[in-house]
């Protein structure tokens, strides 16, 4: 009997450790992509090439880009809905996986979350409503933050500094990014009806789509929308995840060694301030400053011009004062497996 219970417990652990981000049964930790220094340096260059392709060849690639964005948004939002679906289906269905042949094996929660995500994307394609676009954009943000990791402060500085230059150049100097972000794309249903000659009234009343590469916020009068790119959320979000993991690592190291709180010239109150809260407050202040600047200048502002200094500079200053700058800059660190799972994001 004890042997059977051991096998049952092992099966439960396997089911509980099944991925929340991929539907092929692989572990989430195995799907995490860690950015190195080379990737951090070349990411702004790759983003610039993609932006130029969208700017000069938008009419040719808009339908393909819309379909790819819809597919990615479906997968990302399914990942976002999966914990809720697991909670809802746990009392009424076992966690056994259903086989779909070469497509893989899926639990009832994964099927439910994917179905809801497909439904949401279809409604967005049919209506083009900005609220649904924002929901899909938030799903993309959460998925990107969950599956990408910054390993050190050096890589963080390289990545954010390069993207700051990229953002300033393409927003303020060339004004390319704003034109690409605000340009609506043809609805795939409209294109399909024209290609198949389904008639003048079939698929022609669907709206053009504003792609979910940004969050939009309507004004109080509804006459215009404010816009925030998902890169302005994801890149500082990766930095926040990095400092959250470091706070957890330092807390574990201090509890194990029972060492001194820090250098003698640092007050105990300063030691109690976490890097996460410092960076989060900096992000809030930077975003507020960017919003005020856009109101004053009545023009689009490169958000990273404000977000990067307000997050990195306080973080670097606090790390130097606490004596953690050398370790955070280049040394790898790993939290113990006993830590909370959300700290591993």
Catalytic positions, written as ranges: 167, 232
Concatenated DSSP letters of 243-260? HHHHHHHHHHHHHHH---
CA gap 143, 234 in Å, rounded: 9
How is residue 169 annotated by DSSP?
I
CB 123 within 8 A of CB 65: no
CA-nearest of 163, 140, 302 to 239 is: 163
Pairing of β 98-99 and β 225-229: unpaired
CA gap 178, 171 in Å, rounded: 6
Kindly provide the b/e burial profile for residues 195-224, where b requires at least 16 CB atoms within 10 angstroms of the residue's own CB. Answer: eeeeeeeebeebeebbbbbbbbeeeeeeee
CA gap 133, 304 in Å, rounded: 22
Contacts of 45 (CB under 8 A, 6+ apart): none
Give 226's strand partners.
217
Cα radius of gyration (the chain): 23
Contacts of 97 (CB under 8 A, 6+ apart): 25, 105, 106, 107
Rounded to the nearest 10°, the torsion over CA 47, 52, 55, 58 is: -80
CA gap 156, 329 in Å, rounded: 9
Give 209's strand partners.
185
Contacts of 116 (CB under 8 A, 6+ apart): 77, 78, 81, 85
CA gap 309, 297 in Å, rounded: 20
């Amino acid at each position: 009997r004890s042997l059977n219970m051991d096998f049952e417990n092992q099966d439960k652990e396997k089911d509980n450790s099944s991925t929340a981000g991929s539907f092929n049964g692989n572990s989430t930790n195995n799907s995490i992509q860690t950015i190195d220094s080379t990737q951090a340096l070349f990411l702004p260059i790759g983003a610039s090439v993609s932006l130029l392709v969208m700017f000069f060849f938008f009419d040719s690639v808009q339908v393909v880009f819309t379909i790819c964005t819809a597919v990615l948004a479906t997968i990302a939002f399914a990942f976002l809905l999966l914990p809720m679906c697991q909670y809802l289906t746990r009392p009424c269905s076992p966690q056994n996986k259903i086989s779909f042949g070469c497509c893989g094996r899926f639990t009832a929660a994964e099927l439910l979350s994917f179905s809801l995500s497909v439904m949401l994307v279809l409604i967005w394609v049919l209506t083009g409503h900005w609220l649904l676009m924002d929901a899909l954009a938030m799903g993309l943000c959460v998925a990107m933050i969950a599956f990408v990791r910054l390993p050190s402060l050096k890589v963080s500085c390289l990545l954010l500094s390069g993207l700051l230059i990229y953002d300033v150049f393409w927003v303020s100097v060339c004004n390319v990014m704003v034109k690409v972000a605000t340009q609506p794309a043809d609805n795939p249903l409209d294109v399909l009806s024209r290609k198949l000659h389904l008639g003048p009234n079939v698929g022609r009343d669907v709206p053009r789509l504003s792609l979910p590469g940004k969050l939009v916020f309507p004004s109080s009068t509804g006459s215009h929308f404010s816009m925030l790119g998902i890169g302005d959320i994801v890149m500082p979000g990766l930095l926040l995840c990095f400092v959250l993991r470091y706070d957890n690592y330092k807390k574990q190291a201090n509890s194990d060694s029972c060492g001194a709180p820090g250098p003698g010239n640092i007050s105990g109150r300063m030691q109690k301030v976490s890097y996460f809260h410092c960076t989060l407050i900096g992000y809030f202040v930077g975003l507020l400053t960017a919003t005020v600047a856009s109101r004053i200048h009545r023009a689009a502002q490169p958000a990273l011009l404000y977000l990067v200094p307000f997050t990195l500079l306080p973080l670097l200053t606090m790390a130097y004062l606490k004596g953690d700058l050398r370790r955070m800059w280049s040394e790898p660190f790993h939290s113990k497996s006993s830590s909370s799972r959300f700290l591993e994001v």
